Amino acid sequence: MKIRAALATGAVALGLLGTAAPSALADQSGTGQLRGTIGSARSQVNGLAAGPASNATCTINKITINRYSECEWVSIHVDVIKVIDGKPEIEGTVDFDVKHQMTLKVNSANWSEQFTVSKARTTRAGSGVAVDIGAASGGGTKAAVHFPQGHILSSGAASGSVDYKTGAIPKGHVNAKAKTHYTYTFTKPGYTPGSVSYDSVVYRCDNYYGSKRASRSGCAIPEVPTAVSMVGIPYIDDGIRRLRSSGGHYGDPYGGKPLHWMINPTQEDNNRKAVCPTKAPPDMQRAGRTSCDEYPFASTKEGGTHLPANQREITWVHIQENRSQGGRITAWRGKMHVMDGDPFYVIV
């Protein structure tokens, strides 16, 4: 089914968060100012999308993301204001769009972003307004903007890029979450500069699976749910399907709530002991199914007895099934950079 491939990452459309510099016009004739605002924001979940190689696409005033990419398309408005006879009056306007395409990397903590500034639509004194663009990051990552600063917005479209460089990440380490803060500064002779700013989606870099010999650094967008497949592991996927048929919905990609990964070996052990008997029942022993498989997994925030009994189950399986499941989960976590608290679904 299409959703099994689609759930590899996920895509979400988010409302933009923008801020404009305070507008404070002096109460005297001849004073001018440039005042910027961000277009109206909308927020919507678009469903789950394609794999790591796919770029997110978006529409105006939305951020659309998957696990490894973001498309942010912003509309910006600038008023050119002058105080006439003690009253501020709009002498002209500037309207333009900026479209960002950021693509993170599975196997590197350095990446780049491309953006395009459209030719501005201006009225009257809006002609001749120039823009400088800045970007700042965090979480051990530095951002460097490449753009023809001082670009006259009414002269035509202009392209730029942002290079992201992350310092070496120690093995087993997860950097703090970060985001890019974009700042636009508008200038025109005879007017006080104005500015507007907004943020990218949150991203996070790690080297959790790295070793002394090999770095496995990479970055992902942690709020996007990904998915791990249990398809083809007979008794495990059958047990999960049986739970879902009776109303269990956690981890179900078809309208259920996501599970959340947990990195806490002590709690994981406690979760497993809370639901799994120490010994398989006689009929399961005769069938060779002596390994207890719990769902939700003990290594999730919802594991153990954190959910009511009608939202969890155990299945007795052959030991090899649990080993196969563990291998799939490890490979999936490494590929998708799944860390503590990240949401995900289980495909069966």
CA distance linking residue 170 with residue 35, whole number of Å = 44
Nearest to 135 by CA among 200, 223, 204: 200
Answer yes or no: is pLDDT of 2 > 50: no
- What's the pLDDT tens digit per position in 124-163? 999 999 999 999 999 999 999 999 999 999 999 999 999 9
The pLDDT assigned to 55 comes to 66
pLDDT at 187: 97
Looking at the structure, do residues 241 and 319 belong to the same domain, yes or no?
yes
- What's the CA gap between 92 and 288, in Å, rounded? 80
Last residue of a domain, one of 220, 240, 272: 220
Output the pLDDT for position 43: 31
Cβ contact 64:13 at 8 Å? yes
The yes-or-no verdict on residue 96 having pLDDT over 90 is: yes
pLDDT above 70 for 318? yes
Q: Quote the number of domains for the chain.
A: 2
Which residue reads 């799994």 in tokens? 276
47 and 159 assigned to the same domain: yes
138 and 20 co-located in one domain: yes
CA 201 to centroid of chain Cα atoms:
5
27: pLDDT confidence band, cut at 50, 70 and 90? very low
- Residue 193's pLDDT band (cuts 50, 70, 90): very high
pLDDT at 7: 47
Yes or no: say if 171 and 212 are a contact pair by the CB < 8 Å rule. yes
| Domain end among 173, 191, 220 | 220
- Does residue 196 share a domain with residue 254? no
Query: In this structure, are 331 and 233 located in the same domain?
Result: yes
Based on the fold, state whether residues 68 and 175 are members of the same structural domain. yes
Residues 187 and 299 in one domain: no
Average pLDDT estimate for 238-259: 97
Q: What is the pTM of this model?
A: 0.86
Q: What is the pLDDT of residues 227-242, one digit of tens each?
A: 999 999 999 999 999 9
DSSP annotation of 257 = P
Whether 142 contacts 112, CB under 8 Å: no
Same domain, 173 and 100: yes
276 & 127 share domain: no
Inform me whether the pLDDT recorded for 265 exceeds 90: yes
pLDDT at 94 over 90: yes
Range of the domain at 238: 226-347
Please tell me whether residues 131 and 171 are part of one structural domain.
Answer: yes
Report residue 22's pLDDT band, with 50, 70 and 90 as the boundaries: very low
Q: Please give the single-letter amino acid code of residue 203.
A: Y
The dihedrals phi and psi of 142, each to the nearest 5 degrees, come to -115, 140
Give the integer Cα–Cα distance in Å for 17 and 98.
14
In this predicted structure, which of 27-31, 32-36, 170-174 has the lowest mean pLDDT? Answer: 27-31
Average per-residue pLDDT in the chain?
89
Residues 189 and 332 in one domain: no
Whether 134 and 238 map to the same domain: the answer is no
Res 82 pLDDT > 60: yes
For residue 270, give the DSSP letter: H
Categorise residue 283: left if φ over 0, alpha if ψ from -120 to 50, beta otherwise: alpha
pLDDT tens, position by position, 269-296: 999 999 999 999 999 999 999 999 999 9
Angle subtended at Cα 322 by Cα 228 and Cα 344, rounded to the nearest 5 degrees:
20
Residue 30: is its pLDDT beyond 80?
A: no
Cis bond upstream, residue 296 (ω within 30):
yes
Task: Write down which residue in 174, 193, 220 finishes a domain.
Answer: 220
Question: Between 42 and 56, where is the model more confident?
Answer: 56
- Distance, in Å, from the CA atom of 75 to the CA atom of 99, rounded to the nearest integer, reads 9
The whole-angstrom separation of Cα 47 and Cα 345 is 13
- CA of residue 321 relative to chain centroid, distance: 33
Q: What is the pLDDT of residue 54?
A: 56
Residue whose structure tokens are 């009511």: 308
For residues 146, 141, 195, 65, the Cα torsion angle rounded to the nearest 10 degrees is 90
Determine what percent of the chain is predicted with pLDDT higher than 90.
78
Half-sphere exposure of 343 (CA within 13 A, CB side): 18
Amino acid at residue number 54: S
Residue 109 to residues 23, 216, 332, Cα–Cα distance (Å) = 39, 9, 19
pLDDT digits (tens, 9 = 90+) for 47-75: 443 344 456 667 788 888 999 999 999 99
Lowest mean pLDDT among 3-7, 139-143, 262-266, 311-315: 3-7
- Asked if pLDDT for residue 21 goes beyond 70, the answer is no
| The pLDDT of residue 210 | 82
Q: Say which residues have a Cβ less than 8 Å from residue 269's Cβ, sequence separation at least 6.
A: 298
Phi, psi of 131 (to 5 degrees): -135, 140
